[in-house]
Amino acid sequence: MPEQSSSPPQLSSSQRAKQIAEQALGQLSEQLDAGNSDQLDAYIQAMSRFHKYSFSNIMLIVSQRPEASQVAGFHTWRKLGRTVKRGEKGIAIFAPMKLKPRGDQTYQDPDDHAPQLFFRVVYVFDISQTEGEPLPEPARVSGDPGDHLGSLLIAARSAGITVEFSQDLGGADGCSKGGSILLRAGMPPAEQFSVLAHEWAHEILHQNKDAPRPSKTVRETEAEAVAFVVSQAIGLVTGPAASDYIRLYNGDTETLTTSLDRIQRAACVIIEAIEESRQQKYCPALVLSHAVEQSKTR
Angle between helices 241-248 and 13-34 (to 10 degrees): 60
Angle between helices 241-248 and 38-47 (to 10 degrees): 40
> Residue 2 has what pLDDT?
52
> Residue 292 has what pLDDT?
41
Contact 194, 236 (CB under 8 A): yes
> Residue 158 has what pLDDT?
92
* Angstrom distance (rounded) from CA 135 to CA 265: 37
> Residue 7 has what pLDDT?
54
> Residue 212 has what pLDDT?
87
pTM of the shown model? 0.78
> Residue 208 has what pLDDT?
86
> 9 in helix, strand or coil?
coil
* Angstrom distance (rounded) from CA 251 to CA 242: 11
- One-letter amino acid of 211: A
Q: What are the beta bridge partners of residue 96?
A: 119
> Residue 288 has what pLDDT?
42
Tens digit of pLDDT at every position of the chain (298 positions): 455 555 556 767 778 888 989 999 999 999 999 999 999 999 988 988 888 888 899 999 999 998 888 899 999 999 999 999 999 999 999 988 777 666 555 545 555 556 677 888 999 999 999 999 999 988 999 999 999 999 999 999 999 999 999 987 877 899 999 999 999 999 999 999 999 999 999 999 999 888 889 999 999 999 999 999 999 999 999 999 999 999 999 999 999 999 999 999 999 999 999 998 887 754 444 444 444 454 444 4
* Angstrom distance (rounded) from CA 141 to CA 187: 11
> Residue 72 has what pLDDT?
93
> Residue 274 has what pLDDT?
94
> Residue 9 has what pLDDT?
60
Among 16, 14, 32, residue whose Cα is nearest residue 224? 32
Residue 157 vs residues 83, 175, 228, 238, 289: alpha-carbon distances, Å: 45, 15, 21, 25, 12
> Residue 297 has what pLDDT?
47
| Alpha-carbon 222 to chain mean position | 13
Contact 91, 62 (CB under 8 A): no
> Residue 31 has what pLDDT?
95
Q: What are the beta bridge partners of residue 180?
A: 162
> Residue 11 has what pLDDT?
64
> Residue 1 has what pLDDT?
47
Q: What are phi and psi of 95, to 5 degrees?
A: -115, 130
* Angstrom distance (rounded) from CA 107 to CA 142: 67
